[in-house]
Structure 1
Amino acid sequence: MAYESDIINIAVLNFKAAPGDKESNLKRMIGFSRAAAKRGAEMIIFPEMALMGYGMFIDEDVPQEEKVRVTETVNGPSTKALEAVAKEEGIYIIFGMSEKLKEEDTDIYNSAVVLGPDGLIGSYQKIHPYGSENMWAKRGEKPFMFDTKWGPISVGICYDNYQFPELARYYAWKGARLHLNPTASAEEVPNEGSRYAWQRCYRPHLEYLVLSTSIYIASSNLTGWDWKNSVYWGGGSFVTGPKTNPFEEVECATYLGDVEDYQEKLYVGTLDLSLATRHQCSDNPWGGGPDYRPSIYKKMFDEIG
């Protein structure tokens, strides 16, 4: 597959969403987007549910009607405000929000909205809501990729990526070299050893996606206390990808961000996507075809589907 460009300036960030305060969150998301653009970023990824904050949506004491009330469509005022910034700054903005497909709908999704220099591109609805998230969020049904000069870029949200590598493998097969992970990954209430335990869960899951696809993963996480101090987000936003080495095996490198950092912070850096070889999807000179064999997997899944 031919790509117009290999080099991308990208931004990820630890974002402390104000619980249930869209106005405050939107104002700071606009500020971070402009700051990233001034530092040369061509794309910025905000975390899962960054616009509304995640905590109120997992609080069973908050009526579903209230969650529906604060939810917007992709043509709503918040998206329009960020869309104007994306156009003005000439950047891509990806952010998490609760989404209604139509204004009158009562079904809502945990979604990631994608905006580009030309405006709204679309949204991805999380296919695998996590745990009690299923009580308020309807399951999405379709993967989502968007075309850029760097080739197709793919999106999954949090649990989609940590427990279901099939999604990232599908995207790699379809040509993606960069996969985005807007996430709300929680550390246990901070105590001795909790930070290390969280890191041992969060980071290896994403590095495994690199090992199994040979593409980059860009992850932006919420950070700090959320709704009524009921949950503590781990931060640790980073970009991981294939490491330059003299061996056939794929290794991981951290190109941007810091898994150990939980302060609200913006990271901007440059990636060379030519390192994302997707070699499992290329013809094996000794095997006569790609090592990745979707026709076999289809038969397997048809048996259990």
Structure 2
Amino acid sequence: MYEQDVLTVAVVNFKPDAGKKENNLQRMKGIATAASKQGADLILFPEMCLMGYDYFIHEDIAMEDKKKAAEPVDGPSCQAMAEISKQYGTYIVYGAAEYDKERDCLFNSAFVTGPEGIIGAYRKIHPFDTENTWCEKGDSPFMIDTPWGPIGLGICYDSYQFPELLRYYVHKGARLYLNPTAELLEVNKPGCQKSFRQYYSTLDYAVICNSIFLASANLVGYDMETYFAGGSCILGPKTTPFFENDVYCYGGDRDNGQQTISYATIDLSLADRSLWKMNPAAGEMDFRPDIYKKLLEDM
């Protein structure tokens, strides 16, 4: 199933210029090129980084203007990123508003390019709060077929409150999960600092209970009205017990609030996915999808 185990991942704290797609795209191309030259096999940008997050939730911006700013999967930004992917043999994932021509609607999506060009897009299954005023809900998981096996993809709220998606990917063989996110930190707004701390704990829990690696890329700095916290990171299982935490941060800094590129070379063979292996004492794996299916049908 896995041709290779070791890969270098880059995660980007990115501060978008709200509503200025061309400017953001040029900067993203520069970052992707620089990261590729540094040896990154996979480059992860944040949620909605192409236009900025606030542009699409802002009530004063007309829906028609939002549709004009969005792009289909084969649009100019994805084509530009695909050229970098093909030139350097890298995978690039970045957040953008996707325009569906046939349905005349928008999705909060993550576009994916690879060594062969445009791969496709994951549409956020669980839009958060006011995102529902501008985008439709996605309805399908999305895995990237790579030499390191399938890589799962979710966006922000998908990852923090809905563990079913990540668990599905791991059951399908994923050893790495990607989380482009837009996690805010407004110090003058009650509860937001606590909310960002939960960003740490939910990602840690995802790694612990699934025994996999996880890369998360967050927006950083002020958008139109919101302050985003950064903290992009690459997390995974520990290789020794001599650390205070149960999860090791292989790259990035969860307290870094500056625009940066962080790297880690990780060995996915350490992602043992133990729940999906045979338990010798039980004669079967501990994970029991047959039972969970019955529970879901009863909900």
Q: For 1:301 and 1:195, how far apart are their aligned partners in 2?
A: 32
Is 1:287 the counterpart of 2:282? The answer is: yes
Is 1:204 the counterpart of 2:201? The answer is: yes
Counterpart residue number, 1:184: 182
Structure 1 segments unaligned to the other structure (5+ residues): none
Q: What secondary structure is seen at the aligned counterpart in 2 of 1:40?
A: coil
Q: For 1:101 and 1:193, how far apart are their aligned partners in 2?
A: 37
1:40-59 alignment runs, 5 A limit: 40-59=39-58
Amino acid at match of 1:13: V
User: Normalization by structure 1: what TM-score?
Assistant: 0.94
User: Normalization by structure 2: what TM-score?
Assistant: 0.96
Q: What secondary structure is seen at the aligned counterpart in 1 of 2:199?
A: helix
1:197-236 alignment runs, 5 A limit: 197-227=194-224, 230-236=225-231
**Is the CA contact (8 Å cut-off) linking 2:184 and 2:196 kept in structure 1?**
no
1:62-211 alignment runs, 5 A limit: 62-102=61-101, 105-188=103-186, 190-191=187-188, 197-211=194-208
Q: For 2:188 and 2:105, how far apart are their aligned partners in 1?
A: 37
Moved beyond 6 Å, runs of 4+ = 192-195
Deviates more, 1:64-73 or 1:176-185: 64-73
Q: For 1:86 and 1:112, how far apart are their aligned partners in 2?
A: 15
Aligned match of 1:297 in 286, 289, 292? 292
1:237-252 alignment runs, 5 A limit: 237-245=232-240, 251-252=246-247
Aligned match of 1:275 in 270, 273, 285? 270
Structure 2 segments unaligned to the other structure (5+ residues): none
User: Following TM superposition, by how much is the alpha carbon of 1:63 offset from its aligned partner in structure 2, in angstroms?
Assistant: 1.3
Counterpart residue number, 1:256: 251
Counterpart residue number, 2:12: 13
Q: What secondary structure is seen at the aligned counterpart in 2 of 1:268?
A: strand
**Is the CA contact (8 Å cut-off) linking 1:215 and 1:242 kept in structure 2?**
yes
**Is the CA contact (8 Å cut-off) linking 1:214 and 1:279 kept in structure 2?**
yes
What RMSD in Å do the two structures reach over aligned CA positions?
1.7
User: Following TM superposition, by how much is the alpha carbon of 1:211 offset from its aligned partner in structure 2, in angstroms?
Assistant: 1.2
Q: For 2:189 and 2:49, how far apart are their aligned partners in 1?
A: 28
User: Following TM superposition, by how much is the alpha carbon of 1:93 offset from its aligned partner in structure 2, in angstroms?
Assistant: 0.5
Q: What secondary structure is seen at the aligned counterpart in 1 of 2:110?
A: strand
Q: For 2:194 and 2:257, how far apart are their aligned partners in 1?
A: 14
User: Following TM superposition, by how much is the alpha carbon of 1:251 offset from its aligned partner in structure 2, in angstroms?
Assistant: 2.8
Q: For 1:84 and 1:241, how far apart are their aligned partners in 2?
A: 30
For residues 21-66 of structure 1, give each alpha carbon's deviation from its aligned partner in whole angstroms, at most 9, with x where no partner exists.
1001100110000110111101100000111111111111211111
**Is the CA contact (8 Å cut-off) linking 2:10 and 2:262 kept in structure 1?**
yes
**Is the CA contact (8 Å cut-off) linking 1:9 and 1:40 kept in structure 2?**
yes
**Is the CA contact (8 Å cut-off) linking 1:71 and 1:100 kept in structure 2?**
yes
For residues 54-83 of structure 1, give each alpha carbon's deviation from its aligned partner in whole angstroms, at most 9, with x where no partner exists.
111111121111111111101111111111
Q: For 1:207 and 1:42, how far apart are their aligned partners in 2?
A: 23
Q: For 2:192 and 2:262, how far apart are their aligned partners in 1?
A: 21
User: Following TM superposition, by how much is the alpha carbon of 1:196 offset from its aligned partner in structure 2, in angstroms?
Assistant: 5.3
**Is the CA contact (8 Å cut-off) linking 1:199 and 1:259 kept in structure 2?**
no
